Amino acid sequence: MMTIDQRLHRVVYASRIRDEETTPEEDLVARIVDSARRNNPRRGVTGVLVHGNRAFAQVLEGRPLVVRGLLAVIQRDPRHTDMRVVKLDVVEERIFPNWSMALLRDLDEVPVEFAAGNASLLMLMRLRTLLHTGELGA
């Protein structure tokens, strides 16, 4: 039986790099992913960060309180702004169980590791739609 402790939250949000931010996008993203890969494993957080054209779309998966806390930290991060949470679901399974934080550039080919799973591939497509249109799509 599933207990409350085992619940997972999956949150999807979009944001954009602040206009005042002068660090090149690639460097900025590299630093962010360094933090994520250092911190997320011990917090049991998994997910993916898609970026392009100075915009972000991210999925965070983990225990409800952990995800909520991390989201609050990320929201205060001065490197980006205009954060919009577009989806928050209680889920039973992770879409990205093997990624402390996968990174994908908007127009890159989808790595073969992702193509193995329909759910992850679908989510990546939706994140790209979110980057382009501001909406998550079907």
Ligand X SMILES: Cc1cc2nc3c(=O)[nH]c(=O)nc-3n(C[C@H](O)[C@H](O)[C@H](O)COP(=O)(O)O)c2cc1C
**Only segment of 67-75, 106-114, 115-123, 125-133 that touches ligand X (CB under 6 A):** 67-75
Nearer to ligand X, 1 or 100 (CB): 100
Q: Show the binding pattern over residues 26-45: x = contacts ligand X (CB under 6 A), - = does not.
A: ------x--xx-xxx-----
Listing DSSP states for 63-98 in one string gives -HHHHHHHHHHHHT-TTEEEEEEEEEEEESS-S-TT
Reported as half-sphere exposure (CB side, CA atoms, 13 A), residue 97 has a value of: 8
Among 12, 55, 56, 71, binds ligand X (CB under 6 A): 56
Dihedral of the CA atoms 18, 134, 114, 89 (nearest 10)? 100
Are the beta carbons of 40 and 101 closer than 8 angstroms? yes
In whole angstroms, the minimum distance from the beta carbon of 111 to ligand X comes to 19
Nearer to ligand X, 66 or 121 (CB): 66
Task: Work out the angle at residue 80's Cα, subtended by the Cα atoms of residues 89 and 51, and round it to the nearest 5 degrees.
Answer: 70
Contact flag: residue 129 with ligand X (CB under 6 A): no
Reported as half-sphere exposure (CB side, CA atoms, 13 A), residue 47 has a value of: 27
Among 46, 48, 58, 62, binds ligand X (CB under 6 A): 58
Contact flag: residue 53 with ligand X (CB under 6 A): no
Question: What are the residues binding ligand X (CB under 6 A)?
Answer: 15, 32, 35-36, 38-40, 49, 56, 58, 70, 73-74, 77, 79-80, 101
